[in-house]
Every structure is written in C-alpha cells, then in structure tokens.
Copies of this chain bind each other. A is one copy, B any other.
C-alpha cells in the first residue's frame, strides 16, 4: 500500500452502483410519470389518487405530486405569473423525473395548461416513460362543480389569469390517454388507466 492510499483509503474505491434497472427488477415494475392535465375541477386529483390506490393494491410504488405538496414547498417561491407558472411545471417535471429514476410511478395532477410546458417535461424523459393523460371535461361542468369557489371569483374578476376564464387551456395534441370525466364513472376510468399502465409494460 503506498502512502497516498494510506492517507485516503476510499478515494480509489468506486462504490458499486445500484442501477435503476436493478431496482425495477426487484420491485417488479418500472418507474414512470403519468401526467394528468386538464381544467381546474376536471377531476385530475381524484383520478390520480384513485389510480394510486389501484396501483398500490397490485404492489406498485407510487407517489402523487399535486398542488398540496408542491406549492408550499419546492415551489413556494413562485407566484402565478406566466414565467413562474412555467418554472413551476419545469421543477415538477424535473422532480417527477428523479422520482421515476428512483423507480416510482409518479402521478402528477396539475392544470399545466400550456402545451409547450408539457412537451418540455416529456422531453426530459426517455420515450415511453412519460404518459400524458388528458382529463377532459367541459368548462361548464368544471365550473358547475367549482369545489374551491375559484371559478366564481375568476368570473367576478377577483382572480386574474384563471385557466378557462381569462387564460387559455391548450388541449394535448397526442396524449397517451383521454378520460372524459363528464361522461364516465371513476371506476371505469380507473379500469382503463390500469389497463394502459399494463399495456405500456410498466408492470411485469
């Protein structure tokens, strides 16, 4: 053993890496991002949590990223300007990517109204690892639900730049899947999504 090695016993040891593939093999499913996009009130969060439950039952490791756990933490420094919204989606995309690399099936529930933002997130990941699900629902229906009373406030002009009212929602061009929550039941939607996950070979 030479002097250099003596004084720094670890520097020449490359710790063997546990690869993503090894993790995926062991747990029996791949990491991926299922990105739910749609108007406020379309049902993104409900579907994401419902799908998480189904995936949990069949042994998948999952996580739901939504406004609740992101806006007060990772993105707490961001407001609602166009630039901040773009950065919000970018960070969510990067975080979802890291989680997918860890082997999780990440379910994100954000309006994410701009096509370019969503495409940018898609571009972060290898093909097949980002599934865009358009949670389609007519504005009138979303507005009639108005769970948080925000549409009413946006109509009254108290909130500016509200998606669907005075800010556009850009429908996905080629989403991996579309659910229309104004016509199907939650159970039916979830059946279809579980089928999608299986068809895409995310689960062995």
Scan A1-12; emit 1 where CB is below 8 A from any B CB, else 0.
Answer: 000100111110
Tell me whether B46 and A13 are in contact (CB under 8 A). yes
Q: Which of A49-57, A155-163, A196-204 contacts B (4 or more CB under 8 A)?
A: A49-57
Decide yes or no whether A85 CB sits under 8 A from chain B: no
Decide yes or no whether A102 CB sits under 8 A from chain B: yes
CA distance A8 to B69 in the complex (A): 26
Decide yes or no whether A22 CB sits under 8 A from chain B: yes
**Count of A residues near B, CB < 8 Å?**
57
Q: Smallest Cβ distance from A13 to chain B, in angstroms?
A: 6
Tell me whether A49 and B17 are in contact (CB under 8 A). yes
Chain B residues within 8 Å of A22, by CB? 56
CB contact under 8 A between A181 and B9, given known A15-B186, A16-B53, A56-B23: yes
Decide yes or no whether A178 CB sits under 8 A from chain B: no
CA distance A184 to B7 in the complex (A): 10
Partner of A53, one of B18, B46, B65, B181: B18
Partner of A27, one of B13, B61, B70, B147: B61
Tell me whether B186 and A101 are in contact (CB under 8 A). no
What are 23 pairs between A and B in contact, CB < 8 Å? A4-B144, A8-B137, A8-B141, A8-B145, A9-B181, A9-B182, A10-B47, A11-B41, A11-B46, A13-B186, A15-B50, A16-B49, A17-B53, A18-B52, A18-B53, A18-B56, A63-B99, A63-B102, A69-B98, A70-B98, A74-B98, A77-B87, A98-B99
Q: A8-B144, A17-B52 are in contact. List 14 more A-B contacts (CB 8 A).
A: A7-B182, A8-B145, A9-B181, A9-B184, A10-B46, A13-B46, A15-B45, A15-B47, A16-B49, A22-B56, A61-B61, A65-B98, A73-B124, A91-B91
